[in-house]
A and B are shown apart, each in its own frame.
Chain A
């Protein structure tokens, strides 16, 4: 085959409309969400004092409950609030004859009325906002003047 003829054949083939089709490809994606519980403290609480000065409580006038956001990605988790056994900060005599209690309520993915802190409540999957209250009650006498602080443990297990 002479060169001019061969070149003409190649050019003719190149000029022909293409018949190739678009091809689909599947790109797989995988992911994993582990079953876990995330606790995020929104606002710490504030203790108010009752009128006869025997009880410091977040439910009393001037008190504010603490808020914790709980995200559960599994349905086997429970939340509870553990009352303190003493003040972390208190004036002399402030800890004497004081009993502590904690309670919580929840709304969001899980709705709970006021629940004793020692009761572990089942969490639904999703975001639940837990409102935590604590109270310190003196069995006899008034709370001495001074600054008080206590820690409530919010537990997810």
Chain B
């Protein structure tokens, strides 16, 4: 999924605001974070990592507090990771009229497909975003 330019500008502003409003890069951590945005959307960058010794494919998906999917822009939504590597993924989430929004951003692995019971791993970060006016 590609982030269009019209989306990139407010997204970049929101990202810069979030990055500069906190002493540490707390909103950028993969598992927990707070984001403040002046726009009607906010941005989080997560870094899926590959602990294996071989290449893997991962998906990044966005859910709300009840694990219902959210129509967020994820770039790239699916990516291949080299062994023991990580890659930044940009997630743009709309507030949809809310003043605060809690989301889960999950990195999901593609499971092995050779056995009867396949295990899909899901590492989810919890993020809360506030819309400033």
Contact = CB atoms under 8 A, between A and B. Distances in A.
Asked if A and B are interacting partners, one says: yes
A152 B121 CA distance: 8
A46 interface: yes
Contacts of B116: 44-47, 56, 147-150
Interface stretch (A2-10, A19-27, A29-37, A91-99): A29-37
Contacts of B123: 36-39, 155-157
B interface, over-half SS: strand
Interface in B100-133: 104, 106, 108-109, 111-126
Contacts of A149: 113, 115-118
A76 interface: yes
B31 interface: yes
Interface in B51-99: 51-52
A74 interface: yes
A3 B131 CA distance: 83
A154 B121 contact: yes
Contact of B118 (A82, A147, A152): A152
Interface residues of A, number: 35
B8 interface: no
A53 interface: no
Contacts of A157: 31, 104, 106, 122-126
Given A44-B112, A155-B124, A74 B31 contact: yes
Contacts of B120: 151-154
Contacts of A46: 115-117
A56 B111 CA distance: 20
B122 A155 contact: yes
B108 to A, nearest CB: 8
A107 interface: no
A76 B115 contact: no
A129 interface: no
